[in-house]
Amino acid sequence: MTTRGATVEFRDVTKRYARAADASRAVNGLSLTVGAGEICVLVGPSGCGKTTTLKMANRLIEPTSGEILIDGRNVLSGDPVALRRRIGYVIQQVGLFPHRTIAENVATVPELLGWPAARVRDRVGELMELVGLDPSYAGRYPAQLSGGERQRAGVARALAAEPPLMLMDEPFGAVDPIVRERLQDEFLRIHRALGMTVLFVTHDIDEAIKMGDRVAVMRAGALVQYAPPAELLTRPADEFVARFVGADRGLKRLALISCGELTLREPPTARAADTIARGVGFVLLVDGERRPVGWVNRARPELGADPSSPLVTRETRVKDALSALLAAGVATALVVDEDRRLLGTIALDDITHLLAERA
Amino acid sequence: MSADEPLVRWDWIAGHLDEVALRVGEHLLLTVVAVSVGFVIAFAIALASLRWPRAYGPATWAAGILYTIPSLALFALLIPFTGLTLLTAEIGLVGYTLLILLRNIVAGIRAVPADATEAAAGMGYTGAQTLWRVQLPLALPVIVAGIRVATITTIGLVTVTALIGQGGLGYFILLGIQRFFSTPLLLGAFLSVALAIAADALLVLAQRALTPWARAR
């Protein structure tokens, strides 16, 4: 079920509108290249032309001038209907057909392409599993699903014919933050498995940073900066981008780094409390499997081990480790492996140094 | 009508069952033809109005004029051209269905959620596929509501066509009035009401069978 991603190239693409009311949706001389298998997020304030840009890729909006190439072929010269059947499309309101069951909705494009019924049926089952929808949902109507479930069905429908390119217009904008986070994580997992190219529109910079391999910041129909998320946060191209990514861009950057990327400290450890010599400082008490028990104060070992340091893994985002430290009110986090065995520690200082050195 | 005459003479009805069946058949046929032809015309005008929205105003205006002409007056106007024929009856009946059908078809299609049609276009439906597979199925409840009103109205109106000799249950009503005989008069009135209720119930059932999704919540 691996899909090869398509390359997408916008060459000096312009869309002008005759009516003044539509002018804010215009796009001016946009050039942008998306590598095969990348997630490119188009982000910007409303009316920056990001949705117009997205819809020009499947010709729901026809550009006034310029070229759009998918895998090197100019899409503006072919048949738009055939083009759209090769491109996955997900919109914020999902757009499931209310009169068709979930299985029928998911089967839309394969049926348009004339797949045999058995193949369509197998594919629908496969897709529902992929997006985490229980098979019992196959016969339900969209109105019988929650917002998050509908969005999963929308993603399944867009993936049905294994498109090398997916266009997603604020796909997770209409669900609550908790569901949105889960859908984002699941979509990233699906993307890792399938490897299709994705053009993703959002107005939410946090979503852009989380989802994008590259982020295209747009303003008034033009591209302001096109860079990987970390670069956007460390070197915003201008004042507009800096303001748009937010004053907390340092903190946001911490969400892009995992604890495993830091140099871990080796704390002094002891297997048993009675082996700890009196003195100054703290010793980490561990059990026979090197699982942390807690910190022992050498000055007053009789107080026992203090277990309040948070546990994190190599995969934990530094931002989350920082939150855990702040919540626990301590200065050191313990990095452990999947069996909870100690790998090292991270101190609050390490995180502040990180901010200073990369800023 | 003499004083000792009962309101309904059941023996008269029993003796005219063949006639009853014939008139019910005529009534149904006049109705079905009128609503069917009306639907085809209204559907064509509705599609044209969706493509050229400016045409919708004049179209409803014209259908509205037809709707307001009293049926007897319309027959009187048509007779010099088409005579006392089935055609005269149907022209009148079809005319009365147009406004209701046109309005409901257009309203039904316009009420289809924009996200569904946008998704359809984005996935590679042609305009015609979007119309037949997405817009019309979703507009069906509103369209059927229009067909129900048109059908009930037509069943009532068909009683008038007996005046131009085209049969239907109006025949009994006319007979009753001419002879001061209450039995056929009541029979004709009762059957036309019963027919309207039955037709409406049938359409409701048909709609429920065709739109299972509309009740899924």
Question: Across the interface, which of A81, A84, A141 has its CB nearest the CB of B216?
Answer: A141
Rounded CA-CA distance A322/A324 in Å is 5
pLDDT, average across residues A162-173: 94
Contacts of A233 (CB under 8 A, 6+ apart): A209, A245, A249, A250, A252, A253, A256
Compute the distance between CA of residue A13 and CA of residue A76 in angstroms, rounded to an integer. 11
Is the Cβ pair B122, A100 closer than 8 Å?
Answer: no
Q: Mean pLDDT over residues A33-42, rounded?
A: 96
Q: What percent of chain A has pLDDT over 70?
A: 98
CB pairs under 8 A between A and B: 71
Phi, psi of A169 (to 5 degrees): -105, 100
Taking only the tens place, the pLDDT of each residue in A2-31 is 457 999 999 999 999 988 778 878 999 999
Tell me the nearest-neighbour CA distance from B105 into chain A, angstroms. Answer: 17
Question: A194, A36 in Cβ contact below 8 A?
Answer: no
Q: Of A84, A98, A100, which is closest to B122 when you measure between CB atoms?
A: A84
> What value of ipTM does the predicted structure carry?
0.82
For chain B, the straight-line distance linking the first and the last C-alpha, in angstroms and rounded, comes to: 58
A297: pLDDT strictly greater than 50 = yes
User: Do B120 and A97 lie within an 8 Å CB cutoff?
Assistant: yes
What secondary structure, in 3-state letters, does chain A show? CCCCCCCEEEEEEEECCCCHHHHHHCEEEEEEEECCCCEEEEECCCCCCHHHHHHHHCCCCCCCEEEEEECCEEHHHCCHHHHHHCEEEEECCCCCCCCCCHHHHHCHHHHHCCCCHHHHHHHHHHHHHHCCCCHHHCCCCHHHCCHHHHHHHHHHHHHCCCCCEEEEECCCCCCCHHHHHHHHHHHHHHHHHHCCEEEEEECCHHHHHHHCCEEEEEECCEEEEEECHHHHHHCCCCHHHHHHHCCCHHHHHHCCCEHHHCCCECCCEECCHHHCCCCCCEEEEECCCCCEEEEEECCCHHHCCECCCCEECCCCEHHHHHHHHHHHCCCEEEEECCCCCEEEEEEHHHHHHHHHHHC
Shortest alpha-carbon distance between residue A204 and chain B (Å): 21
A112 near B CB under 8 A: yes
Task: List CB contacts of B150: < 8 A, sequence separation 6 or more.
Answer: B35, B38, B39, B96, B97, B100, B101
Which chain A positions have a beta carbon within 8 Å of B211's beta carbon?
99
User: Mean pLDDT over residues A302-315, rounded?
Assistant: 89
When pLDDT is averaged across residues A291-312 and rounded to a whole number, the result is 89
Distance CA B127, CA B109 (A): 13
Residues of B in contact with A111 (CB under 8 A): none
CA distance A262 to A94: 40
pLDDT value at residue B71: 84
Tell me if B123 and A91 make a contact (CB, 8 A cut-off). no
CB A346 within 8 A of CB A332: yes
Rounded Cα distance, B74 and B91, in Å: 9
Per-residue pLDDT of chain B (217 residues; tens, 9 = 90+): 455 678 888 989 888 899 999 999 999 999 999 999 999 999 999 999 999 999 999 999 999 999 988 888 888 889 999 888 889 999 999 999 999 999 999 999 999 999 999 999 999 999 999 999 999 999 999 999 999 999 999 999 999 888 888 889 999 999 999 988 889 999 999 999 999 999 999 999 999 999 999 887 7
pLDDT in tens, A238-295: 999 999 988 788 888 888 889 988 889 999 998 877 777 788 889 999 998 999 999 9
Any B CB within 8 A of A114 CB? no
Residue A199 binned pLDDT confidence (cut-offs 50, 70, 90): very high
pLDDT of residue A304: 85
Residue B4 has what pLDDT? Answer: 67
- Say what the pLDDT of residue B6 is: 83
Total count of residues recorded for chain B: 217
Q: Do A81 and B126 touch (CB under 8 A)?
A: yes
Asked if B120's CB is within 8 angstroms of A91's CB, the reply is no
pLDDT attached to residue B164: 86
Residue A194 amino acid letter:
L
> For all residues of chain A together, what is the average pLDDT?
91
CA distance B127 to chain A (A): 10
Residues 42-71 of chain A whose Cβ lies under 8 A from any Cβ of chain B = 58, 60
What mean pLDDT comes out for the span A293-312? 89
Q: Which residue in this structure is represented by tokens 């209907």?
A: A81
Euclidean distance between CA atoms A119 and A262, whole angstroms: 48
Smallest CA–CA distance, residue B150 to chain A, in Å, is 25
Q: State both tokens at A173.
A: 């904008």
Does A1 reach chain B within 8 Å, measured CB to CB? no
Contact A147, A174 (CB under 8 A): yes
Q: Is A359 on the interface with B (CB under 8 A)?
A: no
Alpha carbon distances (Å) from A264 to A72, A169, A272, A348, B166: 46, 40, 23, 12, 98
Q: Using a CB-CB distance cutoff of 8 angstroms, which residues of chain B are in contact with residue A167?
A: 122
Name the token pair of A234.
Answer: 């460390």
User: Which residues of chain A does B137 touch, with a Cβ-Cβ cutoff of 8 Å?
Assistant: 99
Q: How far is the alpha carbon of B111 from chain A, nearest alpha carbon, in Å? A: 13
Q: Using CB atoms and an 8 Å cut-off, which of residues 133-152 of chain B contact chain A?
A: 134, 137-138
CA distances from B209 to A143, B197, B212 (A): 18, 18, 6
Of the candidates A89, A98, A167, which has its C-beta nearest B138's C-beta? A98
Chain B: residue whose CA lies nearest to A143: B217
Is the pLDDT at A357 greater than 70? The verdict is: no
Give the pLDDT confidence score for residue A1 in this predicted structure: 44
